[in-house]
Amino acid sequence: MAKYGRDGVRTVLVCCTGGEEGDVANPTLREEGQPFHGVTGDDEKRLLAELRPKELEASAKLIGFHRVEMLGYRDSGMKDSPANEHPECFHQAAMDEAVGRLVKLIREERPHVLVTYNDDH
């Protein structure tokens, strides 16, 4: 994506969710002086939910996306997890509604290529 952006191709990133149910995968973030040092449980989830939009903004800027669009759903978590039951999560979204949001963006942008994620995410 970065190559195409550098080459002048318009690139748009569409995110279905905010990633609120993710994990702190980088152990260095738990070290002293880092954001997750000494943080556990609900505080960790809250802090992660606050950090995710900043991570997305920074990474999208670094990669060079021209536009980042959020579909506005809450993260569903992993398959069969309690997060799947949250009424605002992507897993609970009506298919027509979710598809409609994406179709609206596709009609606005008129892309030549679509790249999607693996079905295990």
- Of 95, 102, 96, 100, the residue nearest 117 (C-alpha): 102
Average pLDDT, the chain: 93
- Whether residue 84 lies inside any domain: the answer is yes
Could you tell me if residue 66 is inside a domain? Answer: yes
When pLDDT is averaged across residues 105-112 and rounded to a whole number, the result is 97
Residue 77 maps to a domain: yes
Q: Answer for the pair 46, 36: CB distance below 8 angstroms, yes or no.
A: no
Could you list the residue range(s) of the whole structural domain that residue 19 is in? 2-23+51-109
Reported pTM: 0.85
Number of domains in the chain: 1
Examine residue 117 and state whether it is found in any structural domain, yes or no.
Answer: no
Residue 12's pLDDT is what?
Answer: 97
Residue 56's φ and ψ, nearest 5 degrees, are -60, -45
Give pLDDT, residue 121. 63
